[in-house]
Amino acid sequence: MRSKTEMIRNRYPVGTRVCCDEMPDDPNPIPRGTCGTVMGVDDAGQLIMKWDNGRSLSIIPGVDRFHVVEQNEDESLKENEGIDLSM
């Protein structure tokens, strides 16, 4: 049987793009909607991140909420940055 950390490494390989939805337990969380790249998974099963805003705060699967970003979705998010879509 594979370890939980090994399963996380297989699910989120280096280079995977993710988007932060919520970091409820962090006093200075990554803002919702910020995208980043998985740089690795540490021995505790945390995703070592390089966020597009320059930060490097890790994601804790099972605690933090996030989703994998498809390449097209990531490009669309970048294109819409700074555009007010409210009516």
Residue ranges of domains in the chain, CATH in brackets: 4-74 (2.30.30.30)
Q: Quick one: which of 32, 36, 35 has its CA closest to 48?
A: 36
The three-state secondary structure class of 76 is: helix
The residue-averaged pLDDT of 54-78 equals: 84
Quick check: 72 pLDDT over 70? no
The single-letter code of the amino acid at 67 is: H
Give the pLDDT confidence of 24-58 residue by residue, as tens digits.
Answer: 999 999 999 999 999 999 999 999 999 999 999 99
